[in-house]
Structure 1
Amino acid sequence: MAAEMSKERVFMIVNEGFRKNADTVIREIMAIREQASPEIMSMTSGLMDELLHGLIFLGKIRDQPCSPEAILGKGKTYLNLKTNYPEAFETYSTHLPRRSPFSVVLEMVVKLKGQNNDKEIRETLQDIILKIDLKNCRKLDRIFSSTLCVSHAKEDSKKYYGVSMSTTGPNAGRIVIAASCLSSYWDEYVAGAVMTYYPQKKKKSYFDGTFELHGDATCTAYSIKNGSEMDPCKSCGNLFGLKTTCEKEWPYGNCAEAESLSNLFRNDAEVKRKSRPTSDTCTPENRERAKDDTRRELTNTLQRVNFRWNGKYYSDKRRHYR
């Protein structure tokens, strides 16, 4: 009995930060949705479903797995969510998310606040993360993004957003980055650029899908916590041709610029055309080889975390904000 209690105590200590933060994000989004119109509530129902799946999936692949019941408790909230969003609870052990949980939060906030209201969007995201216990939050428990990126073709044109990866540890990051590339969540140009370096921060010798963002377009990152503008990191300079003096090299695909530019390209064919990759090695055959290598790395990482993937991605048939 003492041994069992000891195991339970270890589980609680290891998972308490993650559990608490996941619960906070879910409850904050529920509260925001409740203030919205019935139309917006309906529009964001699928996103709530996707958010739950992503968070429960991250709990599943932790070193000490954290169940949906452990995250949400076994009370009224858990029962209501499981009743209203059953698919998330049924598939978190078989389907991969196409993006990180905070990306889903971002899309929901954009729908609620309006796509060009970037100030309100930033303030709402800031309010959410400030309610998370940052002081006592271990790196492995961080399911929130630290950076928001805003991209647009011209100063007065429609704005498109992205957030940095909100995953818990290197395995989760590798899984979600690969899934964003392979599931077509990211635009083909962005996915190709990321796969050029994925996963070792080393450029492939046989494929270069990197590109230079056309000069008329802008791509600006901000700290969600304090709202300050941030320079692109070295990785984003290498991937997207963004001018920077920063020497920090984050894992390729980790930064908010990837999602933001992907959304821009999906909606502005002219900017995408002018930003196309130009390397002679960026051929359909070499791109497929890069995808195969990415899929192989994904499979190996899933084996390390004991996840039995059925080859499907969650939300394949759902519509997403671009």
Structure 2
Amino acid sequence: MLRPENVDCFFYQTTVCNQPRCPFQHRDQSKQSTVICPDWQIRKQCRNKQCKKKHLDEEALKKFFRCPIEKKSAACSKLNCPNYHARQRMEVVEQTEYVRGPDPVPMKEKRLWNKKKFVKSDNSRTQKLINSSCQFIKVALKYISSAVNEQRLSISKGKSYIKEILHTIFFLGHIDMPSIEPNEVLSSELFSRVTTKYQDVLQKYKTHLPRRPPYSVLLDVVVESTGDANVEAVLDQLTDLNQKMFIPFSENEWCGNDFFLNSTVVSFCYFSDFVTSKRTRNYFGGSVSCKGILQREVFIDISCIATWNKAVSLAVCLAGIHKHKPMLFPPYVHSTAYHMIIGNVGCSGSEEHQSTKVNTSLAAAAGNTGTALAGDGWIKGYYSKPPCQKCLELFPDTRFTPECSEHRYPAPWEYGNCAECEAVSKLLNAETELNKRISLPIPNRISIDSRYNHLLINTFNTDILILQRQCRLQDNLRKTKFEVGAKILFYDPCIDDSTALVPAQ
């Protein structure tokens, strides 16, 4: 039988409880949990005073905390209503509809990792991530050190880029399941040097978030050391780095790396002013360079919160909303994307890969650079590709090269995953006059994700969309070993508390 003294207070768990003598349990340690305590679920009471799981289920929510308006079979129209709601709510403020779905309910515990013993060395995906991380760091460090020695990159910039790459890769290993420690990725010699020279990296990858994926950092290094004017030179340099990072499958190497940390698509964009006939420089971006649904959601949310231009962040957050008008540029923003080629010359690959062998020899078609190199039976280069459906929805008036084909396939990935988002964001951040001319209509209907009950609706504007991203980010991070605090902290590689550049191996 359900007794109040054995049930978690819904108000205390989600926001704040204002009852002076509340009969329910007020437990801080269970606030972050989304699963029901197994003992409580069976007996409706738990004797463990340190229990970190919910003493709350749908039955208790409906019995003790249900909104009185919903109890009368009516629809509640207050998003700020602190009670439990099993139905969708909608409130209209200044002709804008704000919609919030049903409140989340704690779920039964899923014992995913207790079904069988997990051995890292026997897991193909974990080994591929370790291989990718190790190879990425070795190639990136060598390239950055070479650029610094040749004075194509300043020492301070090189130091900052190295720290950012190390921190981001260590962070990705830490949030993986099972987590991967830095000493599993680095050789003993390099790990010792990193420990000595970049101690803050090893201290903060568990508590501070990176601002972008590792390949986005490397892309900036390549563009800065090569120059943004020559797109073909940038792609040539990326192709060379991709070749060095690639670990193929063979009889001797049972597990390759599958390019776990490399962006499969790179794009660049520029603005050609229709009025003044002036052209900006080229701005490059990469697609989200990590595998795993959780990892991609984490980096897309990080980008929306702390990295991208606000107009791009809001465009990504608003994408998919019914009858929403997308972000519009003044004429003309030009964009071209390039897909990385990984294909065996002798194999009859997919239709897409078969077409790339033709495209690389026809550089004149739609501005294709034709960058490609062959080695050991594998082609590793780039071919220009039309925009996906999601890019067309986000940036509909952009002049894409090549233009989108008539037979357009739906994009299965999430809004924000594409390289165009990063490239356009850099363009708007650098070109302030263009940024002022952006048109981003706000829809008259905004959906509030009610999985995040602790989110208080105090203001009715687009900031709520960014707050939702922040809530999803924190929820995803709580599923990992990352230490989630009350405030989101970001790692700053420009703080110079290290001693020197890490020497290239």
Band of TM-score, shorter chain? 0.7 to 0.9
* Aligned partner of residue 215 in structure 1, secondary structure: coil
Aligned to 2:260: 142
SS for the counterpart of 2:297 is helix
| Aligned amino acid, residue 294 of structure 1 | R
Hey, what does 1:200 align to over in structure 2? none
Mapping of residues 42-61 of structure 1, within 5 Å: 42=155, 43-61=157-175
After the TM superposition, which residues 88-99 of structure 1 pair with which residues of structure 2 at under 5 Å, given as runs? Answer: 88-99=201-212
Gaps of 5+ in 2: 1-116, 250-254, 273-277, 342-380, 447-458, 496-505
What SS is found at the alignment partner of 1:228? strand
Q: Relative to structure 1, is the Cα distance of residues 285 and 19 closer, same or farther in structure 2, using a 3 angstrom cutoff?
A: same
Out of 219, 229, 235, which is 1:122 matched to? 235
Contact 1:14–1:64 under 8 Å retained in 2 = no
What displacement does 1:309 show? 2.2
Deviation by residue 1:175-230 (Cα, 9 ceiling, x = unmatched): 011011111x1000111111124xxxxx246x958313333120111123332111
- Residue identity opposite 2:409 in structure 1: E
Match of 1:111?
224
Aligned pair in 2 of structure 1 residues 208, 92: CA closer, same or farther (>3 Å)? farther
Matches within 5 A, 1:73-222: 73=187, 75-131=188-244, 132-133=246-247, 137=256, 142-154=260-272, 157-183=280-306, 185-197=307-319, 203-204=320-321, 208=324, 210-222=326-338
Q: Specify which of 4, 7, 10 is matched with residue 122 of structure 2.
A: 10
**What does residue 267 of structure 1 align with?**
430
Match of 2:415 in 1: 252
Aligned match for 1:67, one of 145, 157, 181:
181
Amino acid at match of 1:309: V
The 5 Å alignment of 1:235-314 reads 235-241=390-396, 242=398, 244-245=404-405, 246-249=408-411, 250-281=413-444, 285-310=460-485, 311-314=488-491
CA distance in 1, matches of 2:469, 2:127: 32
Determine the C-alpha separation between the residues in 1 that align with 2:288 and 2:163: 19
C-alpha contact (below 8 Å) 1:96/1:309 kept by paired residues: no
Output the CA distance in 1 between the equivalents of 2:137 and 2:121: 25
* 1:6 to 1:50, Cα distance in 2 relative to 1, 3 A: closer
Residue 279 (structure 1) shift: 3.6
Counterpart CA distance in 2 for 1:175 and 1:149 is: 21
CA distance in 2, matches of 1:6, 1:149: 39
For 1:162, what is the secondary structure of its paired residue? Answer: strand
Counterpart-to-counterpart distance in 2, 1:300 and 1:6: 24
Could you state the TM-score of these two structures normalised by the residue count of structure 1? Answer: 0.85
The structure 2 residue matched to 1:224, chosen from 337, 340, 347, is 340
Give the C-alpha shift of residue 305 in structure 1.
Answer: 2.3
Moved more, 63-72 or 152-161: 152-161
Which digits, 9 at most, give the CA deviation of each residue in 1:36-82, with x for residues without a partner? 24551412210110111110111011111111000113x21121223
CA 1:37–1:60 in 2, change beyond 3 Å: closer, same or farther?
closer
**d(CA) in 2 for partners of 1:234 and 1:309?**
35
Q: Distance in 1 between matches of 2:427 and 2:186?
A: 35
5+ residue gaps, structure 1, are 198-202
The one-character-per-residue Cα deviations of 1:4-59 (angstroms, maximum 9, x if unpaired) are x9835336x44221111111111111211232245514122101101111101110
The structure with more helix, counted as a fraction of residues: 1
SS at match of 1:314: coil
Q: Does the CA-based 8 Å contact 1:193-1:208 persist in structure 2?
A: no
| Distance (Å, rounded) in 2 between the aligned partners of 1:8 and 1:300 | 25
Q: Tell me: higher relative CO, structure 1 or 2? Use CA pairs within 8 A at least 6 residues apart.
A: 1
More strand by share: 2
Residue 35 of structure 2 corresponds to: none
| SS in structure 2 at match of 1:106 | helix
Contact 2:269 2:283 in 1 (8 A): yes
* Paired letter, 2:314: G
Identity %: 22
Give the match's secondary structure for 1:44: helix
**Map of 2:61 onto structure 1:** none
Paired residue type of 2:476: T
